[in-house]
Amino acid sequence: MRGLTVISKSLILMITTLALASCGFHLRSDKTLPSNTDYLYVQATSQNAPLVRALENRMNVYQIKGGPQAAPGLEDTTITLHLQPESLDRRLLSVFATGQVAEYELIYGVRYTVLFPNGEELNTSFEVLREYQDDPDQVLAKSRELNLVLSEMRLEAADRIIRLLSSQYAGL
């Protein structure tokens, strides 16, 4: 009886693995640029902008070669990414009975232009949204929490840029 359970569990595991492999499933952490691209040239109004730093961090994590300087000799295989200034807005979601703000929705806007090696140019924009609860009694803690939330939003935006670059170039 016990041997039958082990066999059935093994069989279910094998069928699941086979189904995932046959449908083309890939883990999300596999973020790379197309194989015919060697370099990602990042242009921004300020190379010290938080989004630029987050993007450079993610490029290091995913082992993508690139940076704020153009790579000599790689012009034919370089994607140029021009980041426009980021925007951060907040929208009121709820208030306390006293009239003080209880909750905001943070809206982090990203706009960029991409020039692909084949000459195609794409203008893209997107928003990253987060809810943020405010507490006027804990100003210091909420200030630190807001900085952490903004940092996470920038990392998510950087991940999305890399993912979109790969998928947009594949669609050309």
The string of pLDDT tens digits covering residues 78-131 is 899 999 999 999 999 999 888 888 899 999 999 999 998 888 899 999 999 999
All domains in the chain, ordered by first residue: 33-170 (3.30.160.150)
Q: Beta strand pairing status for 101-115 and 87-95? A: antiparallel
DSSP 151: H
Rounded to the nearest angstrom, the gap between the alpha carbon of residue 141 and the centroid of all alpha carbons in its chain is: 26
Q: Per-residue pLDDT tens for 9-20?
A: 877 877 777 676
Q: What is the DSSP string of 55-90?
A: HHHHHHHTT--EESS--TT-GGGEEEEEEPPPEEEE
**pLDDT tens per residue, range 41-58:** 999 999 899 999 999 999
